[in-house]
A = this chain, B = another copy of it.
């Protein structure tokens, strides 16, 4: 009689933590978006699953809470981390409408961390994470966050940089950042982290503005200190500078 919201990491499998693997092994039912259920079924083929399509997030969380109320231990699975743009918040929100149940959140490797590892070490200093999806967030708030993040000289990690219905959002975001940042700013993007077709690229902010990415892509924009070292995107923490 519990819902555990589990982050699978970017690709499931080798990215799973021991804690996530134990929680999946212990549950009675796994609930999730169809593509993430496929990731889990490889490792837990015997488990009962309930999968729902894209944009059925509320239904999915209700189904999980209702199954828990019948006495079952339910796992809700998310790609990446369960807490970063994941289902953890929605499970807490939906559960308020029902009798009290136990909810536990098991974190996973989010795309910011998984993607950074492929590019080098872009997040070794302060950073901001922003989703470019305006399905649930007004675009003017996204613009304000981009502008403030650029003024703060954060490294910026962009989730949901593009989709079929928003093909030009990364270009618009880069335009806002270019008001504050040099077109030579070191950037990178990763695609299909931890999955088949995994790729990582570095480029300048000027080049990024003219690059078409898809919804499986995570984008990194360097701070003024971020550089390229042997092809890797690295933001120095400052140790070498301190030591001379």
Contact A107 B96 (CB under 8 A): no
Most buried by B among A9, A22, A107, A144: A107
Contact A124 B86 (CB under 8 A): yes
Contact A17 B9 (CB under 8 A): yes
Give every chain B residue within 8 A of A103 (Cβ-Cβ). Answer: 232
Contact A83 B124 (CB under 8 A): yes
Among residues 123 to 140 in chain A, which have CB atoms less than 8 Å away from a CB atom of chain B?
A: 123-131, 135-137
Q: How far is the CA of A107 from the CA of B120 in the complex (A)?
A: 11
Give every chain B residue within 8 A of A232 (Cβ-Cβ). Answer: 92, 103
Q: How many copies does the complex hold?
A: 2
Give every chain B residue within 8 A of A229 (Cβ-Cβ). Answer: 92-93, 96
Given known A126-B130, A152-B144, contact A89–B19 (CB-CB < 8 A): no
**1/0 contact string of A204-235 vs chain B (CB within 8 Å):** 00000000000000000000000001101011
Mark the stretch among A30-38, A67-75, A111-119, A170-178 that contacts chain B. A111-119
Contact A105 B120 (CB under 8 A): yes
Q: How far is the CA of A145 from the CA of B121 in the complex (A)?
A: 20
Contact B84 A123 (CB under 8 A): yes
A44 on the B face (CB < 8 A)? no
**1/0 contact string of A137-160 vs chain B (CB within 8 Å):** 100010011011101111000000
Nearest B residue to A129 via CB reads B127
Among residues 93 to 108 in chain A, which have CB atoms less than 8 Å away from a CB atom of chain B?
A: 93-96, 100, 103, 105-108
Give every chain B residue within 8 A of A116 (Cβ-Cβ). Answer: 83-84, 88, 105, 107
Give the top 10 A-B pairs by smallest Cβ distance, nearest first: A136-B238, A89-B124, A148-B152, A89-B121, A88-B121, A105-B117, A14-B19, A107-B113, A128-B128, A14-B18
